[in-house]
Amino acid sequence: MSSCSNTTDTSVAQQVYEIAWLPDESGMLAYIDKTSISSLDGSSIDGQNLYHAGSDGTIGNSIKPADAAPNQTGYAPIVSVSPDGHTAITSFITNSSGTPDIYSVDLSSGNVTDIIQNTDLLGITPDQKFVETTPSAANNTAKLLVLYDRSANPIRLHLPEQTVAGAVSNRVLWIDDAHFAATIYDSTGADQTPWYHVTIFDTDGTVTQSIPNADVPLHASAYAAKSGDLFIRTHANGIDKIHLTTSARTSVLPDSVESIDVSGDGTLLVYSSGASTDFYMGYAVNLANGDKATIASSMIAPILSPNADRVAFIHQLSGGASSDIQVITVQTPP
């Protein structure tokens, strides 16, 4: 452990890295990095923890009794909440090796259990049965993807493990409880911007679909389970929609998109702009007719609530030196 939480320490900055709604919308969980000044010797303490947050974005108590070391592996923090709202899964660095362990959190009792050791977390199925991980460094051009089955007691590997050439240091986006989408590097274009494609695997490692000019980064892609639409980022930082049954592809937003989320029925998209003229402005889009409305400013990583009636987002403060959580109501533009 890099540091211990101390109620007498003074918090000087915080960065919210990830937000996850509870299924009943009664609140959220937030993965936060906080920098504090020690009350003992005035030294700076940097630690990460999972925090309770209210449905209005108010940040409450930390879940782990002691903060974890800052994660510098190059993989983004991921937080999954089970459909019944009882269990959360995330990762922390709690050893001297600098490699994360994956933890299960009982949200009723607060008990935190180390379930998988020495590996980075890439994604969890919606039912939390399967956990995709990698022991490979973020800068490796080929990565070993390792799938664990949480339904087994004890947790076991779900073979076969597979080495995927070109797999980027990004989360995998689970399509359902049996398929996930991974971003694969192709080449670097003349403008020095990378080109990617998306490969969809099943839990046995079989490739079921390949989508060119596509990327599924955290907070800039989504899957609408009820409509069967996958929303991917393009080379131009636009958003396309692919219906996975028919393979029909439609341009939703042409370019300059920073982050998105989509309602489960595929009717509402929220996004923050990456355009220089309206950087981090937040918009809601009616996916049936393309109409949009401005909903917020300084919006980073919008996360729609389960009922798609509210959006929580990482809100930039102090020119990016700190951030908090903002929550607003949202409606599909007419």
Using one digit for the tens of pLDDT, what is the confidence trace for 12-70?
Answer: 789 999 999 999 999 999 999 999 887 777 778 899 999 999 999 999 999 998 999 99
Region 330-334: mean pLDDT is: 95
C-alpha distances out from residue 51 to 12, 81, 99, 317, Å: 17, 13, 21, 19
pLDDT digits (tens, 9 = 90+) for 204-238: 999 999 999 999 999 999 999 999 999 999 999 99
Instruction: Give the pLDDT of residue 318.
Output: 79
* Euclidean distance between CA atoms 322 and 59, whole angstroms: 14
Instruction: Give the pLDDT of residue 2.
Output: 41
pLDDT at 6 over 80: no
Instruction: Give the pLDDT of residue 9.
Output: 65
SS3 category, 318: helix
- 27-150-131-72 Cα dihedral, nearest 10 degrees: 80
- The angle subtended at Cα 323 by Cα 171 and Cα 77, nearest 5°, is 20
Phi and psi at residue 318, to the nearest 5°: 50, 40
Give residue 1's pLDDT band: very low, low, confident or very high (50, 70, 90). Answer: very low
Place of tokens 């889009």: 285
* Euclidean distance between CA atoms 213 and 17, whole angstroms: 27
Nearest to 234 by CA among 212, 205, 219, 262: 212
Categorise residue 258: left if φ over 0, alpha if ψ from -120 to 50, beta otherwise: alpha
Is the whole model's pTM more than 0.85, yes or no? yes
- Considering just the CA atoms, what is the radius of gyration of the chain in Å? 19
Give residue 191's pLDDT band: very low, low, confident or very high (50, 70, 90). Answer: confident
Taken in order 297, 19, 26, 68, the sign of the CA dihedral is negative
Give residue 131's pLDDT band: very low, low, confident or very high (50, 70, 90). Answer: very high
Q: Are strands 222-224 and 207-211 parallel, antiparallel or unpaired?
A: unpaired
Higher pLDDT, 37 or 312: 312
What percentage of the chain has pLDDT greater than the value 70? Answer: 97
Region 121-148: mean pLDDT is: 97
Q: Are strands 162-165 and 156-157 parallel, antiparallel or unpaired?
A: unpaired
- How many other C-beta atoms are found inside a 10 Å radius of the C-beta of residue 329? 9
DSSP secondary structure letter of residue 10: E
pLDDT at 168 over 50: yes
Higher pLDDT, 4 or 70: 70
DSSP-derived secondary structure for 224-248 = ETTTTEEEEE-TTS-EEEEETTT--
Taken in order 282, 288, 289, 290, the sign of the CA dihedral is positive
pLDDT at 160 over 90: no
- The angle subtended at Cα 113 by Cα 305 and Cα 49, nearest 5°, is 55
Name the strands in the sheet holding 282-286, side by side, starting at the edge strand that comes first in the sequence. Answer: 257-262, 268-273, 282-286, 292-296
Q: Which of 60-64, 149-153, 315-319 has the lowest mean pLDDT?
A: 315-319
Nearest to 120 by CA among 111, 132, 129: 132
Contact call for residues 252 and 285 (beta carbons, < 8 A): yes
- What is the maximum alpha-carbon separation in the chain? 63
Instruction: Give the pLDDT of residue 118.
Output: 95
DSSP secondary structure letter of residue 93: B
- How many other C-beta atoms are found inside a 10 Å radius of the C-beta of residue 306? 16
Region 137-159: mean pLDDT is: 95
Place of tokens 């219906």: 243
pLDDT at 4 over 50: no
Nearest to 146 by CA among 164, 128, 173: 164
Higher pLDDT, 271 or 8: 271
